[in-house]
Structure 1
Amino acid sequence: MTWRTCMTETQRGSHGDEQGLEALYGWLERAGAHHPKLRVIRLPGGERGVFTLADVAQGEVVLRVPRECLLTTGLARSSEIGRLLESHLEAESDELYLAAFLLQEKQREGSFWRPYLETLPASVPHSLLFLEERELQLLQGSAVLEELEARREMLHTQHALLRAHIPGWASLTATEFLWACVVVSSRNFGVKLRGNPVRCLAPLADMLNHKTSPDVHWGLSEDEESFEMVALKALPAGQEIHDSYGAKSNHRFLLHYGFVLEDNEHDELVVHLGIPEGDPWSATKQRLLELSSPSERRRFQSRLPYGHESTQEMFSFLRIACAEAEELSRLSVTPGASGGQVEPLSIANEERVLAALGAACEARLSGFDTSLEEDERLLAEEPSSRSVRNCILMRREEKRLLHAYAERVRTGARLLRKPWPELEQLAAGGGTGGGPLDDYAREGVLKAVRNDPWNRLERAARQGHHFGSVALGPRSKSKGPGR
C-alpha cells in the first residue's frame, strides 16, 4: 500500500457537523445498534457531549453497539497491517495495533469504518504531545514532563520502525502517527472477551465526557455480542450524560486525555527516593530493596490516603532505606522480595522517614517557577486558552498535594515527640484531633510508638513482666519522645 497524507481528509470530515453525525447514526443503526434517546451536541468552546433526548430510567440500556461495529485489538491484529506488524516488528502493544489499523482504514477506499473515522476529531491540540514549547514551559517542575518524555521516546521509536519496516509506510509523518496514537489512547475501552482482556474502540460510546461520579456503566453484553451502556440512575431529557474514565491521577488524565481535574481524590504525589548518601548499611539495603545500585532513586506515585497500597509501598521503602542496623535486624518482611508492608519500626526510624519525605517534597516544590499562590491568581484571571489553563491547573494541583504531604510530615513529627501514654489517650478518645491526616496519625505514628523497643519494655514492666538484667534507664535522646 502506498502511503498518502490523511490529514486533509481527516480535517474535512472530523468537525462533528450534523451530516457526519447522521451518517454515523445511520451506519450504527443499519448494523443493529440501539441508541434512540442519545444525540451528540456541540458544547460551548467547540467540544462535543452526548445528551439525552428523552427521560431515561435507572437500569435502562441507553446504548448498544454490535460487535460488528467494535474495533477490537483482535480485529486489528488479524488485519493486513496487523499481520505486517507481527511479522516485521513482532509488535506487542495493543494500542499500536489499533492506531495502525485506524491509519490503514483512512487510506482504504470504501472502508467499512468510514462513517466512524469521519467523526473522529480532526486534531488533538490539547494533548501534551502537540503542545507548543511555550506552553510546555508552563509545566516547569511538574513530574508529568518526565512521563511525557518517556512517551515521546517510545512513540518516536515506534514511528521510525513503521516507516523503516512496513512496506508503503515510509512517508508516514510523525503528526499523522501521533494523531492516531492519541485518538486510541484517549478513546479505547478495556473489556473481557471470552475471559481475555481486550481493548476496543466503541463508536458513539467514546464521545461521552468524563465525570468522577458517572451516569452510566459499560461493558460487553452477557452474550458478548454487543457493547452496552446502562444508566446508573434516572436521567431527565436534555441532560448531558457522562462516563468515568477511571480512578486516574492528573498526570494520566493530562497525558492521555488532555484535561486536568480540580481536587482529584485519585491524584498522586510523585517523588524519587533512595538510600541516604554514605549510609554504612547501603549494601544490605540495596539487596533488601532490590535496587540496581546504592545510589539508585526509585520513582514513587503515591496517593494521600495512608492506607492506599501506593502510599504503603512508599513508606515501607523509606523505613528500610532509613533504618539502622538494629532496626534492619527486626524486619519480618521486605517490600522488594515479598511486596509485604513494612510497619513502623521505631520512633527514631519514623522520624527519619518523615524527614526524608519532607526533604523530597521540598525539593519538588523548589523546582517550580511559581508559587501555589501565584497559580491561584493566574487561574482566577482566566487563562488565554484551555491548554494554558491545563498546564497551570496541573502544577497547582501538584503543589497542593506536595503541601498536604509536607503538612503530614510536620504533624507526624510533632506527634512522635509526645509521650506514648498521651498518644494512647488520644487514640482511645477517637483519634488525634481529626482531619485528613488522621489516618497516618493512627496507623503510622501510633504504631511507631507502640513498636518502639523502649516503649515495649516500659509497657511490659508496668504490667509486671521481667526481662532479666535489662535496665529501663533514661531513654537516649535519639530514641524519641519523653523530652
Structure 2
Amino acid sequence: MGRKKAQASCKGKQHGPSAQQKQASSAARILSRGARNELDVLCEKLFHLTSNPAYMTQLWNNYLDISEVLLKVKRLEEMKTESSQRSQVIGQFTNWLTENGARMDGVSIAEYPGYDLGLKAEADFAENQLILEIPRALIFSTYTAAPELTALQNDPLVQHMPQVALAIALLVERYKKNSTWKPYLDMLPNSYNTVLYMKANDMIELKGSPTLEPALKQCRNIARQYAYFSKIFQNNNEPVSAMLKDIFTYERYCWAVSTVMTRQNLVPSPDGSRMIHALIPMWDMCNHENGRITTDFNSTSDHCECYALRDFKKGEQIFISYGPRTNSDFFVHSGFVQMDNDQDGFKLRLGISKADSLQKERIELLGKLDLPSVGEFLLKPGTEPISDTLLAFLRVFSMRKTELAHWLRSDKVFDLKHMDCALETVVEENVRKFLLARLQLLIANYPTTLKEDLELLETTLPQVKKMTVQLRVTEKRILLGALEYVEQWIKA
C-alpha cells in the first residue's frame, strides 16, 4: 500500500445526540465555571501562539511559550491516568478478530524486549507466504467507525486533513459507551514515544540536528488543532461535541494523534475511487525492519493481506517493512530510530537566494532539470552519499553566467546529473568547496561528537534520551561519510 496523502470523506445524514452519545461520564471531568473560563482563555492564547506566522522565525522560543501554556492546560485538565495492561486483553482482542472474519493462522501476540508487543510466528513461514487477512469491516476508518463524525463533515480540518478526522474518530469510539471497537482500542498503547510526549529538556537534545525543526513544527501543529477543537466542542451541541465536550483534553488528543501517526496506512475506499487513511488491527502489531513492502489490499475479497517479508521460523518475531523512510521521519512520526536503516538520509536544505543576480537563470535551468529552487536533498549513507539530484542542483548553484547560458541552450541538460559530466573546472571546484564547507559546518553544529554519543549509548538512558542520541549517531555517520567522500573527491 502506498503512502501518498489521501483525503477521507464522510457521508450520511446528521442526527441529534443519542442517549448513548451523551454518556462518556466515566471519562468526563466536569470543570467549575471558573476553571472552564480559564481553560478557554488559555486555548485562545494557544491558538494565537500556534497560528501567527510571525512566530515561525523563532521556532524554539515559540515552542517554549507553547509548552508553558500547555503546562497550565494540563494542570486544569488533570485526570486519573488511564492505564491498562495490554497483555491482559490479548485474548479478547484475538477472539474479536476471528469472530469477525480475520484469518491469522500460525501467529500470536507476544512481548519482546525493546519492542513492547509484536507478532510471533507459531509455525514456519516461507518468504511471500500469506500471514494475515483482515476484512474491511475490521479496518478502522471514517467509513467503518464513528458515524457521528458526519456532523462535522463540513469542518475544514475534518474535511481536508484525513489524519485529523481519524484521530477524532478514535476519541469518539474510545469514549462511546458499548463501542464495537473496544477490543481493538483496549489493545492500543496508553502512550507513545512521539515528539508530542517530549519535554523541552528532551527536545534540546536535537540541537544541531535538522530533525529539530520538523519536531517543533509537529508539536506546534497539534497544539493548534487541540485549541481549535476545544473551542468547537465547547460551543456546539452536535453529536461529536456533545460526546467530547467534557472529555476532550490535550493529552487525550495527543494519544489519538500519536495512534494515527504510528499506525496509519492507506487502503482503497469502499467504492475504490480514492485511498483513505485507516488503522488495521493485528497488522499494526508488526514491528519494522528493512525490506520491501509486502502488504496489499485485495479488492476482490475486500481484505488487507500481509505476506512474509522473508522466511520466519517458529518462535521468531514477524517483522514487516514500513516503507522507505529516513530515521528523521521515523523519529518524528513513529517514535523510534532504526540504527541500520538502509533507507536513511540526512536532509540538506538548499535554495537559490533572492539576492542572487543570476537567480532567474538558475531557477530556469533547475526547472529544465525538474528540480526545485528551494528544497531538501538527501545525503545518503554508504559509498555514494551524493545523489544525482543534489549534484545537479549544486552545479547549477555554482555556475557563472556563461555556463548558465550554455546549459540553458543545451539539449543534454540531464547530463548535469551524471558525475562524469564535462564541466568547467572552476564550477566543479566550487561545488566541492561548497559541499566541504557546508558539511564541516553541519558537523560543528552538534554540541557532541560522534565518539561522545557512542559512549552515551553504552550507558543506561531513558528511552526518549536514547532515541535522540541514536538519531544523532545515524545523522553524524552520514555527514562524516559524505565529508570523507568529498575530501577524496578533492584529492582526486
TM-score (norm 1): 0.75
- Structure 1 segment 42-53 matched on structure 2, within 5 A: 42-44=111-113, 47-53=116-122
CA offsets, 1:228-275, max 9 Å, x none? 222344432211111111111000111111111113221112223234
Is 386-395 or 219-228 further displaced after alignment?
A: 219-228
1:129 is the counterpart of 2:200: no
Seen in structure 2, the aligned counterparts of structure 1 residues 115 and 277 have a Cα distance that, compared at 3 Å, is closer
Is 45-54 or 144-153 further displaced after alignment?
A: 45-54
Of 257, 263, 274, the residue aligned with 1:181 is 257
Contact between 1:164 and 1:170, CA under 8 Å: does it hold in 2? no
Of 79, 86, 100, the residue aligned with 2:154 is 86
Q: How much does 1:324 deviate?
A: 0.4
1:16 is the counterpart of 2:86: yes
Contact between 2:195 and 2:219, CA under 8 Å: does it hold in 1? no
Structure 2's unaligned 5+ residue stretches are 1-20, 29-77, 368-372
- Structure 1 segment 192-271 matched on structure 2, within 5 A: 192-193=268-269, 194=272, 196-213=274-291, 217-271=294-348
- Structure 1 segment 81-120 matched on structure 2, within 5 A: 81-87=149-155, 89=157, 91-120=159-188
Of 225, 250, 267, the residue aligned with 1:191 is 267
Matched letter for residue 147 of structure 1: P
1:389 is the counterpart of 2:460: no
Q: How much does 1:339 deviate?
A: 9.7
Give secondary structure in 2 for the equivalent of 1:284.
helix
Matched letter for residue 113 of structure 1: W
CA offsets, 1:85-142, max 9 Å, x none? 4346463122111111101101211111111001100111x21221222222222111
| Match of residue 447 from structure 2 | 369
| Match of residue 37 from structure 1 | 106
1:165 is the counterpart of 2:236: no
Q: How much does 1:317 deviate?
A: 1.8
- Structure scoring higher RCO (CA < 8 A, sep ≥ 6) equals 2
> What is the Cα-based RMSD across aligned positions, in Å?
3.1
Contact between 1:49 and 1:240, CA under 8 Å: does it hold in 2? yes
Contact between 1:82 and 1:97, CA under 8 Å: does it hold in 2? no
Seen in structure 2, the aligned counterparts of structure 1 residues 82 and 159 have a Cα distance that, compared at 3 Å, is farther
Contact between 2:365 and 2:407, CA under 8 Å: does it hold in 1? no
CA distance in 2, matches of 1:145, 1:139: 5
Give secondary structure in 2 for the equivalent of 1:242.
strand
Seen in structure 2, the aligned counterparts of structure 1 residues 279 and 89 have a Cα distance that, compared at 3 Å, is closer
Contact between 2:365 and 2:404, CA under 8 Å: does it hold in 1? no
1:71 is the counterpart of 2:147: no
| Match of residue 408 from structure 1 | 485
Greater CA radius of gyration, 1 or 2? 1
Seen in structure 2, the aligned counterparts of structure 1 residues 396 and 317 have a Cα distance that, compared at 3 Å, is same
**How many pairs align?**
400
Contact between 1:82 and 1:101, CA under 8 Å: does it hold in 2? no
Q: How much does 1:45 deviate?
A: 5.3
Matched letter for residue 188 of structure 2: L
Contact between 2:108 and 2:120, CA under 8 Å: does it hold in 1? yes
Give secondary structure in 2 for the equivalent of 1:356.
helix
- Structure 1 segment 240-319 matched on structure 2, within 5 A: 240-275=317-352, 279-286=356-363, 288-289=365-366, 298-304=375-381, 311-319=387-395
Seen in structure 2, the aligned counterparts of structure 1 residues 220 and 361 have a Cα distance that, compared at 3 Å, is same
Q: How much does 1:285 deviate?
A: 2.8
CA distance in 2, matches of 1:333, 1:303: 32
Give secondary structure in 2 for the equivalent of 1:17.
helix
1:328 is the counterpart of 2:404: yes
